[in-house]
Amino acid sequence: MSAQVVFRCEGCGREFDSLEARRAHEAAPHPSASRQGFMCAACGAPFETPRELATHAHRTHAT
């Protein structure tokens, strides 16, 4: 079994399965730090709303 390569955004910590997906994400402006009020306890990724955080947690950290 091989390990999955993860591409992490330096701006917000979000993880992507491909370099192309990360680059597309990074091309868009990131929300200002003052608007990122919800941090993921598992990886530290910032989110603007509780719903975005919950979606991230379900998709990324659910086992």
Contact criterion met (CB below 8 Å) for 45 and 14: yes
Local confidence band at 62 (pLDDT 50, 70, 90 cut-offs): confident
The tally of domains found in the chain comes to: 1
pLDDT given for residue 63 in this prediction: 63
Domain assignment present for residue 1? The answer is no
5-55 residue pLDDT tens: 789 887 777 888 999 999 998 888 776 555 567 888 888 888 888 898 899
pLDDT given for residue 31 in this prediction: 62
Q: Which residue segment(s) compose the domain that 21 sits in? A: 7-61
Domain assignment present for residue 45? The answer is yes
pLDDT given for residue 15 in this prediction: 86
Q: Which pair of tokens denotes residue 16?
A: 């992507």
Domain assignment present for residue 2? The answer is no
Domain assignment present for residue 49? The answer is yes
d(CA 3, CA 11) in angstroms, rounded, equals: 24
